[in-house]
Amino acid sequence: MKKKIFLIFPPHLTDQPITYTLIKKYDLKTNILRASINYNTQGNLLLELEGTKENISSGIRYLENIGVKVDFIHTEIKWDEKACIHCGACTAVCPSDALKLDSNSWLLSFNAEECLGCKLCIKACPLKIITNGL
Ligand code: SF4
Ligand code: SF4
């Protein structure tokens, strides 16, 4: 199974090999979707974990035990591509590269891997064709 999580590190953990531990000790595949970590200041990481349910639970317990705040991404954005008029309103509010207008065709594309689950696009779409699929 896969799980997308958002991690907030306190300053004293920003130099710890946390993703290495998740891989080696908990046998998890880790895919870093977004990172903002500076030594000795708070760090953020959007991470996709892949592994057995038990290993993901153990890995998350490890993170929480060492003091990392773990938030779960519960949003699954659905985009009705056929109804889209490619106006770009959603791209203006999207904080990641999940929603993009192609610079040649001016057609919208959606990459779920990049989505942070903020839901800003849902409100921004004038046709209301972006929804939370969960
Ligand atoms: S939920 Fe947020 S990050 Fe995801 S596509 Fe919409 S605006 Fe972009
Ligand atoms: S705001 Fe709605 S109609 Fe406009 S490009 Fe985005 S999904 Fe398509």
Examine the fold and report which residue of 45, 72, 99 is the final residue of a domain before the chain moves on. Answer: 72
Q: How confident is the model at residue 58 (pLDDT cuts 50, 70, 90)?
A: very high
18 CB near ligand 1 (under 6 Å): no
End-of-domain residue from the set 53, 72, 91: 72
| Residues in CB range of 73: below 8 A, 6 or more apart | 4, 5, 6, 46, 116, 117
Of residues 65 and 34, the one with the higher pLDDT is 65
Residue 39 and residue 86 in one domain: no
Same domain, 47 and 96: no
Pair 8, 39 in one domain: yes
Ramachandran region, residue 86 (left: φ > 0; alpha: ψ -120 to 50; beta: rest): left
Residues 36 and 87 placed together within one structural domain of the fold: no
Structural domain ending residue among the three candidates 54, 72, 90: 72
Testing ligand 2's pocket by substitution, the residue of 84, 91, 100 carrying the most ligand atoms inside 8 A of its CB is: 84
Band (pLDDT 50/70/90 cuts) for residue 2 is confident
Reported confidence tier of residue 43, pLDDT bands at 50, 70, 90: confident
Which structural domain range is residue 25 located in? Answer: 2-72
Is 122 found in the same domain as 81? yes
Lowest model confidence (mean pLDDT) among 19-28, 97-106, 110-119: 110-119
Residue 60: pLDDT band with limits 50, 70, 90: very high
For the cut 70, the answer to whether the pLDDT of residue 134 exceeds it is no
Q: Are residues 53 and 95 in the same domain?
A: no
Atom of ligand 1 nearest to the CA of 90: 7
From 77, 80, 85, give the residue whose CB has the most ligand 2 atoms within 8 Å, as the site to mutate.
85
Q: What is the predicted pLDDT for the residue at 113?
A: 78
Residues 37 and 59 placed together within one structural domain of the fold = yes
CATH code, domain with 12:
3.30.70.260
Domain at 122, CATH number = 3.30.70.20
